[in-house]
Amino acid sequence: MNGNRVAVVGLGLLGRGIAACFLARGFEVVAVDTSEARLRESIAAIDQSMAELTERGGLNPERRASWREHYHPTVNYSHLRGCSFVVESIAENLQAKQAVLSQIEEVTADSRTVVASNTSAIPITLLQQPCAHPQRIIGMHWAEPAHATRFIEIIRGDRTGDEAVETAIAIAKRLGKDPSLVQKDAPGFIVNRIAYAMYREAMQILEEGIADVETIDRSLRNTLGLWASVCGPFRWMDLTGGPELYARAMAPVMSSLSSSNQLPPPIACLAEEGAKGIANGRGFYTYTTEEKSYWEQLYREQAWKVTQQQQENFPLETPHE
């Protein structure tokens, strides 16, 4: 088995970007798809990604010029033999993914090849069910455009082995990503679970006639779009009133969001203890005076940067002076 030889199975929108990431970091990449046309199309798409990575991501021009020598497109699964790491990235369908994982396993049966599924929301434990070597199966959820984004969720299925987890994290880091380890398998993992809840509420607001599609989109762009590249939800609450304020604001809305009208325990407990986020140094995180200033300043800078960008993209008639 060659540690530098990896594979991508399914060269669609995501698979092409994933292949580009591996090529940019010096891997030999076997690319398997059932469609010859998709494989042909992947070459132009990867070339475009490599050009972007050279212009914006500091990719060595020599690697950009020679990537095609290291890319091996094929419809033949037997070419997976000898690959140390395989990313499955076919369309989101449990049965189809299970069948492909079994095919990959057959070819790589005698090795320690780790097989990662790029699924958006299917629990890895379900994907592992028919597998002969479930300890080698892991979730690896990428974000589009895969060659440009830092995001990767590494998901441990119930039967995933520690070695597979360590390998997947090491590969993600070698690809210049910022991996998030999801410790417990659940539909949607972290980001899609949160995102799907948000999309569901957006539909609900639309259905109830509270606002139209464009207004909902614009409102989120003007708020979430401002903070989400420097904060997650916990940091954001800490910066803007902390658990105490959010608990008070959220309590009356809870019954319209879930079957329980109770606040979730993590925020209820902190609110009861008087946690006001950066205002008193206690929130979901704790803050020294220096840390409080750092986060305040960071967010303020970000708010101006994004507001300026929004004015360029979506000019208001009466902008900030």
Q: Which residues bind ligand NAD (CB under 6 A)?
A: 9-15, 32-35, 38, 89-92, 100, 118-120, 141-144
Q: Which is nearer to ligand NAD, 85 or 142 (CB)?
A: 142
Report helix angle 289-313 to 213-227, nearest 10. 140
What residue type is 58 in one-letter code?
G
Please tell me the distance from the alpha carbon of residue 208 to that of residue 152, in angstroms, as a whole number.
35
- CB of residue 24 to ligand NAD, shortest distance in Å: 18
**What are the residues whose beta carbons fall under 8 Å from the beta carbon of 103, sequence distance 6 or more?**
77
Q: Which is nearer to ligand NAD, 151 or 234 (CB)?
A: 151
Query: Dihedrals φ, ψ of 257, to 5°?
Result: -105, -25
Q: Which is nearer to ligand NAD, 18 or 237 (CB)?
A: 18
Q: Which is nearer to ligand NAD, 10 or 242 (CB)?
A: 10
Report helix angle 265-272 to 242-250, nearest 10. 120
Q: Which is nearer to ligand NAD, 156 or 282 (CB)?
A: 156
- Other Cβ atoms closer than 10 A to 234: 15
Query: Dihedrals φ, ψ of 246, to 5°?
Result: -65, -35
- CB of residue 216 to ligand NAD, shortest distance in Å: 20
- CB of residue 16 to ligand NAD, shortest distance in Å: 8
